[in-house]
Chains A and B, each alone.
Chain A
């Protein structure tokens, strides 16, 4: 299966979404997106970490030290209430755009 590039803007949405179920470290975020997309979507480090910094700056997530499964100190990212709101807003927005695109693709 060839690796697909992430559509622009979707990465933030996906990160927020995978964080909804609980705090994760960076590598886990990438992995979760990779597995949940049936290994279609691949998140590169060069995209993930700048995106995470932007989300931190927006105040949608906070970071805190935790211990990884390999027993190593690493930062875990956690959704804030503001992030949760942002996720809802982006998801409904995305749904509407997605349906609209689907509608065009079906009928045209």
Chain B
């Protein structure tokens, strides 16, 4: 320990210690001269040897090497720029991927004490839900001893007087802002002591964006009364911009959840035990010193106690698993619930795919740079041999070359940081992420970036360094391995891009029904407290008026129209196999409206509520080898009978490969939640304003959501389109780099073999023969690379299954076109340097040595 301190003290006062040592030696010489002795040895060298005892000489050497490396890189700016550019691409892709991971998982949300925030879900053998019924939340809040506070939030929309579109509202428990530590831009935020009680004056907090958009950032706004759903509500303040709002999209308004019944007519949110309609997302603040496990245990026993009173609301053996609530991951998912067990996360396979792809790009970049360094080694042959002959050991030379690589790596990672930031901010502005999600690099990103630079320096630098020092760069083995690696990696990228393109065309193809001419009208009658009878009147009148419009071909109703936000999924058991079935309540005209052909049996019919139509796939999955017609089918205790089979309709844009659909006749009770589908022979775009005003004219409170089904379909594909675009760009960069590498290598081979080529030509070899001779040695590494690449792509694409829309991960078209494209590009590119071989003048080549 003392020794280490002395060593450090020496490092810090190196200059002084060095001077003292020099003085010692000088004095020694003086004395020796006085005594008549002769000085022996070089004082500088003596000093260096003495200094070595302190163990800091490596710093001096490093400094030397760095200075030398800087000078060398500056001397060949072309090489340096190319190397930094290649690295910037490879590292930048990785930095962007890590940057997103950092934002999502590592960096806490901008809330007070993110570490003690927990996010709760419901889990039981009977089902799962990301939301809790409000009464359950309230029960927990009153009885918990492990949590210092519980936050509830549910999403909704309200209509403001004079506005076209409904506003996005978060109904929150009144402690929402105080628990999260959010500050107000103007006025005050919600106050648990004043705003919690159900009888309190209704108040609203505005988001900063909404305040600026709608009220022109009017500073005198607090205290004003606005009308929401026709009810007066007092604006008390505006929340600041950096509020994370525990959601990726910032709402327009925050309102105490206790005001929900007051503002939304017929709301049962506060008393309803079912989470089918709505529920509360719940966060808890852990008391100091307690573990999440303790809180989960307590909530489990509280749920059991509540079940004793409310058997129908709380599930048997209900648990409330928690996850850290202070990170973006906890707010990514949409509200979901269902029977059976929860689907495994779809994020993990996609994330691992991204990691694999960006590492591949890095591999291509490093392989490319490695070839470049090897080629440079040839140019530096003289320099290296001079240094060897003046006594540089190979360890010293390797260290020098590695220092050069490390310097390149660090420069590359600095450029990569810029590229990564560019990618991130580009993607984030394209997907309109909220302002508080800050993409600027923090220490984790910087550290990652620097270590990525050094790591790639090792990857691309080590082998060339050894080869160059041993003066063995004529051996093409290393180059061939580098080529194989590059070919393999870029081949994987091309194949994955090909698979995604294929999946996209596959998905954009016929989903099994005709959607282009269909417009959906969702009047959201349920949100306006329509009774079944009122809904019937409204829908009947609307359909009557629609029929009188020109060009209308068919009109029908559906509770879960294709590509919409609503899907109803049910797990059902058939002979021990659990099938996930999409349910849809429709009227008999549904199949005609969407042009879904009836394969067998008959259509649903009014007045026959127990009949059921299933899709072809469901029929095959549920009753393989049997006649499905007449089979019984139980839903919620009601017996249905299969009367017809229709063709498959991929209602969620083919993500659901099985297309297991069950169509029930809509009952009276379903009517308030029905969506109207209209098929027109005219242009559907021109129909939208008419439909909108028609639906509004029937009831001014109703704010119908009118959508072109083809637009909804396009939106569904958007995620995949972005994916295809990014992977495509990566793949073409990789292809370009690999071509560059191979072209460089062939050019080198030609220049090395000029003499041989000259002799061959002099002996009468034909041009084709010459080209074959030059290219033959590359056929093998490229072939090996292609094989490895295809194999790796096959392994990797297993994780793609989920997003391939039912396309097989071994789709031959994708594989052959990727490999074909690669081979063709490389062959064409390599013709340039190969042609050089033909222009060799035999006489010149033989004379020239």
Interface size on B, residues (CB 8 A): 27
Select from chain A the residue with minimum beta-carbon distance to B52: A50
Within 8 A of A (CB), among B597-646: none
Closest approach, in angstroms, between the C-beta of B332 and any C-beta of chain A? Answer: 56
Within 8 A of A (CB), among B1-18: 2-3, 6-7, 10
Contact with B20, one of A54, A68, A72, A75 (Cβ below 8 angstroms): A75
Q: Which residues on A sit within 8 Å (CB–CB) of B50? A: 49-50, 52-53
A100 located at the interface, meaning its Cβ lies under 8 Å from any Cβ of chain B in the complex: no
Q: Which residues on A sit within 8 Å (CB–CB) of B53? A: 50, 53-54, 56-57
Q: Are B27 and A25 in contact (CB under 8 A)?
A: yes
Closest approach, in angstroms, between the C-beta of B257 and any C-beta of chain A? Answer: 70
Closest approach, in angstroms, between the C-beta of A56 and any C-beta of chain B? Answer: 7
Q: Are B3 and A57 in contact (CB under 8 A)?
A: yes
Q: Which residues on A sit within 8 Å (CB–CB) of B6? A: 56-57, 59
Q: Are B30 and A70 in contact (CB under 8 A)?
A: yes
Closest approach, in angstroms, between the C-beta of B47 and any C-beta of chain A? Answer: 8
Q: Are A27 and B23 in contact (CB under 8 A)?
A: no
A106 located at the interface, meaning its Cβ lies under 8 Å from any Cβ of chain B in the complex: no
B31 located at the interface, meaning its Cβ lies under 8 Å from any Cβ of chain A in the complex: yes
B535-574 vs A: 1/0 string, CB under 8 Å?
0000000000000000000000000000000000000000
- In the bound complex, how far is the Cα of B29 from the Cα of A79, in angstroms? 24
Q: Are B41 and A46 in contact (CB under 8 A)?
A: yes
A88 located at the interface, meaning its Cβ lies under 8 Å from any Cβ of chain B in the complex: no
Q: Which residues on B sit within 8 Å (CB–CB) of A25? A: 24, 27
Q: Are B25 and A68 in contact (CB under 8 A)?
A: no
B342 located at the interface, meaning its Cβ lies under 8 Å from any Cβ of chain A in the complex: no
B32 located at the interface, meaning its Cβ lies under 8 Å from any Cβ of chain A in the complex: yes
Select from chain B the residue with minimum beta-carbon distance to A63: B20
B766 located at the interface, meaning its Cβ lies under 8 Å from any Cβ of chain A in the complex: no
With A45-B46, A49-B46, A57-B53 in contact, do A74 and B3 touch (Cβ < 8 Å)?
no
Q: Which residues on A sit within 8 Å (CB–CB) of B52? A: 50
A1-42 vs B: 1/0 string, CB under 8 Å?
000000000000000000000000111001000000000000
Q: Which residues on B sit within 8 Å (CB–CB) of A74? A: 23-24, 27
Q: Are A27 and B32 in contact (CB under 8 A)?
A: yes
- In the bound complex, how far is the Cα of B51 from the Cα of A57, in angstroms? 11
- In the bound complex, how far is the Cα of B162 from the Cα of A3, in angstroms? 109
- In the bound complex, how far is the Cα of B27 from the Cα of A72, in angstroms? 8
Closest approach, in angstroms, between the C-beta of B90 and any C-beta of chain A? Answer: 43
Q: Which residues on A sit within 8 Å (CB–CB) of B753? A: none
Q: Which residues on B sit within 8 Å (CB–CB) of A49? A: 21, 24-25, 46-47, 49-50
Q: Are B24 and A46 in contact (CB under 8 A)?
A: no
Within 8 A of B (CB), among A70-90: 70, 72-75
- In the bound complex, how far is the Cα of B49 from the Cα of A55, in angstroms? 14
Closest approach, in angstroms, between the C-beta of A29 and any C-beta of chain B? Answer: 10
Q: Which residues on B sit within 8 Å (CB–CB) of A95? A: none
Q: Which residues on B sit within 8 Å (CB–CB) of A44? A: 40-41
Residue of B6, B21, B53 ringed by the most chain A CB atoms within 10 A: B53
Q: Are B41 and A45 in contact (CB under 8 A)?
A: yes
- In the bound complex, how far is the Cα of B28 from the Cα of A27, in angstroms? 5
B34 located at the interface, meaning its Cβ lies under 8 Å from any Cβ of chain A in the complex: yes
Q: Which residues on B sit within 8 Å (CB–CB) of A102? A: none
- In the bound complex, how far is the Cα of B25 from the Cα of A26, in angstroms? 8
Q: Are A57 and B54 in contact (CB under 8 A)?
A: yes
B44-67 vs A: 1/0 string, CB under 8 Å?
001101111110000000000000
Q: Which residues on B sit within 8 Å (CB–CB) of A27? A: 27-28, 31-32
Q: Are A53 and B51 in contact (CB under 8 A)?
A: yes
With A63-B20, A72-B30, A74-B24 in contact, do A50 and B49 touch (Cβ < 8 Å)?
yes
Interface of A is mostly: helix
- In the bound complex, how far is the Cα of B16 from the Cα of A63, in angstroms? 13
- In the bound complex, how far is the Cα of B33 from the Cα of A72, in angstroms? 15
Q: Are B49 and A46 in contact (CB under 8 A)?
A: yes
With A26-B28, A27-B32, A70-B30 in contact, do A45 and B2 touch (Cβ < 8 Å)?
no
Select from chain B the residue with minimum beta-carbon distance to A48: B28
- In the bound complex, how far is the Cα of B30 from the Cα of A38, in angstroms? 23
- In the bound complex, how far is the Cα of B23 from the Cα of A80, in angstroms? 22
Closest approach, in angstroms, between the C-beta of A86 and any C-beta of chain B? Answer: 13
Q: Which residues on B sit within 8 Å (CB–CB) of A72? A: 27, 30
Q: Are A59 and B40 in contact (CB under 8 A)?
A: no
- In the bound complex, how far is the Cα of B23 from the Cα of A25, in angstroms? 11
Closest approach, in angstroms, between the C-beta of B624 and any C-beta of chain A? Answer: 82
- In the bound complex, how far is the Cα of B483 from the Cα of A36, in angstroms? 70
Contact with A59, one of B2, B27, B29, B41 (Cβ below 8 angstroms): B2
- In the bound complex, how far is the Cα of B51 from the Cα of A73, in angstroms? 21
Select from chain B the residue with minimum beta-carbon distance to A73: B23
Select from chain A the residue with minimum beta-carbon distance to B50: A49
Select from chain A the residue with minimum beta-carbon distance to B42: A46
Q: Which residues on A sit within 8 Å (CB–CB) of B23? A: 73-75
Q: Are A59 and B3 in contact (CB under 8 A)?
A: yes
Select from chain B the residue with minimum beta-carbon distance to A58: B3
Q: Which residues on B sit within 8 Å (CB–CB) of A57? A: 3, 6-7, 10, 53-54
- In the bound complex, how far is the Cα of B49 from the Cα of A54, in angstroms? 11
Closest approach, in angstroms, between the C-beta of A69 and any C-beta of chain B? Answer: 9
With A27-B31, A46-B46, A50-B49 in contact, do A75 and B24 touch (Cβ < 8 Å)?
yes
Closest approach, in angstroms, between the C-beta of A79 and any C-beta of chain B? Answer: 16
Q: Which residues on B sit within 8 Å (CB–CB) of A30? A: 28
Closest approach, in angstroms, between the C-beta of A58 and any C-beta of chain B? Answer: 7
Q: Are B49 and A26 in contact (CB under 8 A)?
A: no
Q: Which residues on A sit within 8 Å (CB–CB) of B51? A: 53
Q: Are B3 and A26 in contact (CB under 8 A)?
A: no
With A53-B21, A70-B34 in contact, do A45 and B28 touch (Cβ < 8 Å)?
yes
Q: Which residues on A sit within 8 Å (CB–CB) of B40? A: 44-46
Q: Which residues on B sit within 8 Å (CB–CB) of A46? A: 40-41, 46, 49
Within 8 A of A (CB), among B41-99: 41, 46-47, 49-54
Select from chain B the residue with minimum beta-carbon distance to A72: B27
Select from chain B the residue with minimum beta-carbon distance to A59: B2
- In the bound complex, how far is the Cα of B45 from the Cα of A44, in angstroms? 14
Closest approach, in angstroms, between the C-beta of B30 and any C-beta of chain A? Answer: 7
Closest approach, in angstroms, between the C-beta of B167 and any C-beta of chain A? Answer: 73
Q: Which residues on A sit within 8 Å (CB–CB) of B31? A: 27, 68, 70
- In the bound complex, how far is the Cα of B41 from the Cα of A74, in angstroms? 21
Q: Which residues on B sit within 8 Å (CB–CB) of A50? A: 49-50, 52-53
- In the bound complex, how far is the Cα of B40 from the Cα of A52, in angstroms? 18
Select from chain B the residue with minimum beta-carbon distance to A65: B20
Q: Which residues on B sit within 8 Å (CB–CB) of A52? A: 50
With A53-B51, A54-B53, A57-B53 in contact, do A45 and B27 touch (Cβ < 8 Å)?
no
- In the bound complex, how far is the Cα of B50 from the Cα of A54, in angstroms? 8
Q: Which residues on A sit within 8 Å (CB–CB) of B47? A: 49
- In the bound complex, how far is the Cα of B41 from the Cα of A32, in angstroms? 22
- In the bound complex, how far is the Cα of B59 from the Cα of A7, in angstroms? 32
Q: Which residues on A sit within 8 Å (CB–CB) of B29? A: 45
Select from chain B the residue with minimum beta-carbon distance to A52: B50
- In the bound complex, how far is the Cα of B7 from the Cα of A33, in angstroms? 28
- In the bound complex, how far is the Cα of B26 from the Cα of A73, in angstroms? 11
- In the bound complex, how far is the Cα of B31 from the Cα of A26, in angstroms? 10
Q: Which residues on B sit within 8 Å (CB–CB) of A63? A: 20
Closest approach, in angstroms, between the C-beta of B183 and any C-beta of chain A? Answer: 56
- In the bound complex, how far is the Cα of B54 from the Cα of A59, in angstroms? 12
Q: Which residues on A sit within 8 Å (CB–CB) of B21? A: 49, 53
- In the bound complex, how far is the Cα of B3 from the Cα of A54, in angstroms? 11
- In the bound complex, how far is the Cα of B10 from the Cα of A45, in angstroms? 21
- In the bound complex, how far is the Cα of B24 from the Cα of A30, in angstroms? 12
With A53-B50, A57-B53, A57-B54 in contact, do A45 and B25 touch (Cβ < 8 Å)?
yes
Q: Given A44-B40, A49-B49, A75-B23, 19 more contacts at CB 8 Å?
A: A27-B27, A27-B28, A27-B32, A30-B28, A44-B41, A45-B29, A46-B46, A49-B46, A50-B49, A53-B21, A53-B50, A57-B7, A57-B54, A58-B3, A63-B20, A68-B31, A70-B30, A70-B34, A72-B30
Between A and B, 6 residue pairs with Cβ closer than 8 Å are A44-B40, A50-B53, A53-B54, A54-B53, A57-B53, A57-B54
Question: Across chains A and B, which 5 residue pairs bring their CB atoms closest together, nearest first?
Answer: A53-B53, A49-B50, A27-B31, A54-B53, A50-B50
